[in-house]
């Protein structure tokens, strides 16, 4: 079993590698979900969202640092692995309906995650991605409900518009 502090150190190192190399990223997954909803849960990986145009550079940077890095699915997901943990590099959605774009970065709030001030995936984008996850072994509907409940007053339902309050 991986030591939790080693795993968290690995996550911090990958973020640091990306930042030092000028790669913008957003923290998503369980860490962003916990920030928005207050519901903390242990996760098996760490999710970073990046623009599709940055994936090849991230993989090269992480490989040069000694990590195993490659595409899991060429249209939306790459992974960086170490004996200490896994970082998912997400640049689209599994169903192909959306990809990480400039708007994600323009509307991303800042928060402290793993002792680092980072930008988070906006809640609207988390909802957009999670709303389509309904598989035999996974359903993210409860996460969507928690995000709607926790973030309703800050959600912007129209892109590039003023927020519409719940």
User: Using one digit for the tens of pLDDT, what is the confidence trace for 90-106?
Assistant: 999 888 888 999 999 99
Query: Does position 118 have pLDDT exceeding 70, yes or no?
Result: yes
Residue 115 CA to residue 96 CA, distance in Å, equals 33
Which CATH number applies to 4-121? 3.30.460.40
| Mean pLDDT along residues 12-25 | 98
Domain boundary assignment for the chain: 4-121
pLDDT at 79 over 60: yes
Q: Residue 165 above 50 pLDDT?
A: no
Q: Cβ distance 23 to 58 under 8 Å? A: yes
SS3 48: strand
């Amino acid at each position: 079993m991986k030591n939790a502090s080693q795993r968290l150190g690995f996550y911090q190192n990958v973020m640091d590698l990306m930042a030092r190399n000028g790669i913008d990223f957003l923290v998503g997954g369980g860490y962003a979900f916990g920030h928005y909803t207050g519901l903390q849960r242990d996760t098996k990986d760490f999710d970073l969202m990046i623009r599709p145009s940055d994936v090849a550079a991230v993989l090269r940077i992480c490989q040069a640092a000694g990590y195993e890095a490659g595409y899991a699915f060429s249209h939306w997901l790459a992974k960086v692995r170490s004996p200490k943990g896994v970082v998912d590099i997400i640049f689209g959605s599994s169903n192909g309906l959306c990809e990480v774009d400039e708007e994600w970065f323009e509307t991303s709030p800042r928060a402290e995650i793993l002792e680092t001030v980072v930008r988070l995936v906006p809640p609207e984008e988390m909802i957009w991605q999670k709303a389509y996850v309904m598989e035999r072994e996974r359903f993210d509907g409860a996460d969507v409900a928690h995000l709607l409940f926790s973030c309703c007053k800050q959600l912007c339902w129209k892109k590039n518009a003023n927020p519409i309050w719940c």
